[in-house]
Structure 1
Amino acid sequence: MTVPVFYSISDDFTKYAAVSLNSLVKHASSDTDYTVYFLSQDLSDEHIKDLSDLGNENVHVKFFHIDDKLVKPIQNRKENFLRADFFTMSIFYRLFIPELFTQYDKAIYIDSDTVVNDDIAKLYNVELGDNLFGACTDSSIQFVPKMVKYIKDVLALDPKKYINSGMLVMNAKQFRDNLFIDHFMELLETYHFDCIAPDQDYLNEMGEGNILHLDPRWDAMPNENTEPIKNPGLIHYNLFFKPWHFKGVQYEDYFWQSAKETKFYDELKAELDNYTDEQRAADRQKLNHMLLKEDKTEKDPNNWAKVKEREAVKL
């Protein structure tokens, strides 16, 4: 058995992905075979080597170039902006994994701003049944009233069941059998839903009723409102409070522990040291900026809630 794990990155995210990959390799069982794929459109040869060097005899690191044609319908339009201030195609790559890798009936996807703190095979071995995927409730938004309102009123979903897409155990066979990509493209091109979290909103909407909610230790996110999870299996530095930009971030020790074992440690420390208070203040404002969409999208006649009154969007 091979445990397939996927990341999607742009070249400038390599150093953070290296910290995540290093932690994954460190906690991988020597009795299990793993293949880690990096999906990208712009990885440099140097960064391909940097990531390859972190593999070992049972963790094989591979690379897959995402073809422009594949993602052509997903354009650089306002509704696809991540965090309201920039567009990156890489957030959508995860949706194509089941179609691109038909040799797998099951796969794990994780974001690059993560640290793995347990054997990822344990996550892979979760029994999904007929569910489309397994994921964890998005704990980072439960204390953000505007986001909770957006999930209730714009998405017409239960905020307690709204999952974070930074860690997915994908039932790839179910994705293919249910023609997920065809339905996704149809919704995308018909409605251009103006989303706060584009790929995540589509997964929540299309998977509604077919999502297995996993133990929160597999997507532990820094949160100023809650105590840290005692034994996090995977830490996800979601939203803006990255340990390479802020000091005192919950779970930051796990990041720096792994970073020290990579060639990027000095570069990451310098990034933290050189990040200015003005930049940190701007990052704090980005969340508010992101949430400005809520008022506008609530009135949109083609928002998720209104479209769901007229037709089914879930698979």
Structure 2
Amino acid sequence: MTIPVFYTISDDFTKYAAISLNSLVKHANSTNDYTVHFLSQDLTAKHQHDLQELGSDNVHIEFCKINDELVAPIQNRKENYLRADFFTMSIFYRLFIPDLFPQYDKAIYIDSDTIINDDIAKLYNTELNNNLFAACTDLSIQYVDKMVTYIKEVLALDPKKYINSGMLVLNCRAFREEGFIDHFMSLLTKYHFDCIAPDQDYLNEICDGRILHLDPKWDAMPNDNMEPLTDPSLIHYNLFFKPWHFYDVQYDQYFWDSAKETKFYDELQAERSNYTDKQRTDDRQKLDKMLTKKDQTINDPNNWARIKEQGPVNL
């Protein structure tokens, strides 16, 4: 049996993905077989080689170039901006995994700004039953009042059940059988919902009621309002405060411990040293800008909450 794991990246994110991949390989059980797929539209041959070098006898690295036509309906519009900041197609690739890889009935997706501290096979062995996927509640936003309001009043969802899409155990068979991607594309092109986290919001909305919530240790995120977990299985450096840009980020030692084992360590250390205080201030302001989207969308007649009042939009 092969355990399929997916990353979706743009070429400029390769070195961070390499640190995550290194940690995954390090904790992979030697008795299991893993195939790690990188989905991208622009991954250079050099960076493919860099990632390939990190594989092992039982962790195989493969690459899939996303076809432009496949994602053409997803337009560079403000409604599809990540965190109200910029457009990146790569965040949407995860939604296509079940259709692109029909040989898999189940698969794991993880973001590239992660560190894995346990055998990823334990996630794969999650019993999904009739759920469309398994994930963790997004604890990074539970103490952010505007985000809680956005989830309640714009998305019309329970913030305690709103998941973070940085780690997913996908029920690929159910996604295909129930036409998830067709439903997603239909909603996307019909309503152009203005989202803070587009792929994440669509997953929460379409799959509401059929999401299995996992132990928070599988998506531990830096959060100044919470004590760090003592033994996180997967760390996700969500939002703006990346350990390669900021000092004293919660859980940052896990990142640097893995980085030291790769050829990118010195480059990443230099990147943090050269990141200016102005850039860090700008990053903090981006968080404030992201939160203003709540004010823009709460009275939008075409927000999720208003459309849902007219009838169900989920599967």
Does 1:222 find its partner at 2:222?
yes
Return the offset for 1:84: 1.3
Code of the aligned partner of 2:246: F
Summarize deviations over 1:3-25 as a string: whole Å, max 9, x none: 00000000000000000000000
* Pairing 1:141-160 to 2, within 5 Å after superposition: 141-160=141-160
- CA distance in 2 between counterparts of 1:104 and 1:95 reads 14
The corresponding residue for 2:131 is 131
The corresponding residue for 1:54 is 54
- CA distance in 1 between counterparts of 2:149 and 2:282 reads 24
SS of 2:38's partner is strand
The corresponding residue for 2:70 is 70
* Pairing 1:245-260 to 2, within 5 Å after superposition: 245-260=245-260
Summarize deviations over 1:119-147 as a string: whole Å, max 9, x none: 00001001010100000000100011000
Return the offset for 1:313: 1.2
The runs of 5 or more residues in structure 2 that have no matched partner are none
Does 1:287 find its partner at 2:273?
no
The corresponding residue for 2:271 is 271
* Pairing 1:20-169 to 2, within 5 Å after superposition: 20-169=20-169
Code of the aligned partner of 1:45: A
SS of 1:56's partner is coil
Return the offset for 1:311: 2.1
The corresponding residue for 2:262 is 262
Overall identity of the aligned pairs, in %:
74
Code of the aligned partner of 2:122: K
Summarize deviations over 1:255-278 as a string: whole Å, max 9, x none: 000000111111100000000111
Summarize deviations over 1:172-213 as a string: whole Å, max 9, x none: 011011100010000000000000000000000001000000
Q: TM-score, normalising length from structure 1? A: 0.99
Q: TM-score, normalising length from structure 2? A: 0.99
The runs of 5 or more residues in structure 1 that have no matched partner are none
- CA distance in 2 between counterparts of 1:20 and 1:293 reads 31
Code of the aligned partner of 1:39: L
Summarize deviations over 1:52-96 as a string: whole Å, max 9, x none: 000011000000000000000001011011121211000000000
Code of the aligned partner of 2:202: Y
In the alignment of these two chains, the number of paired residues is: 315
- CA distance in 2 between counterparts of 1:27 and 1:268 reads 22
Code of the aligned partner of 1:198: P
Q: CA RMSD for the aligned pairs?
A: 0.5
The corresponding residue for 2:243 is 243
The corresponding residue for 2:311 is 311
SS of 1:164's partner is strand
- CA distance in 1 between counterparts of 2:311 and 2:61 reads 42
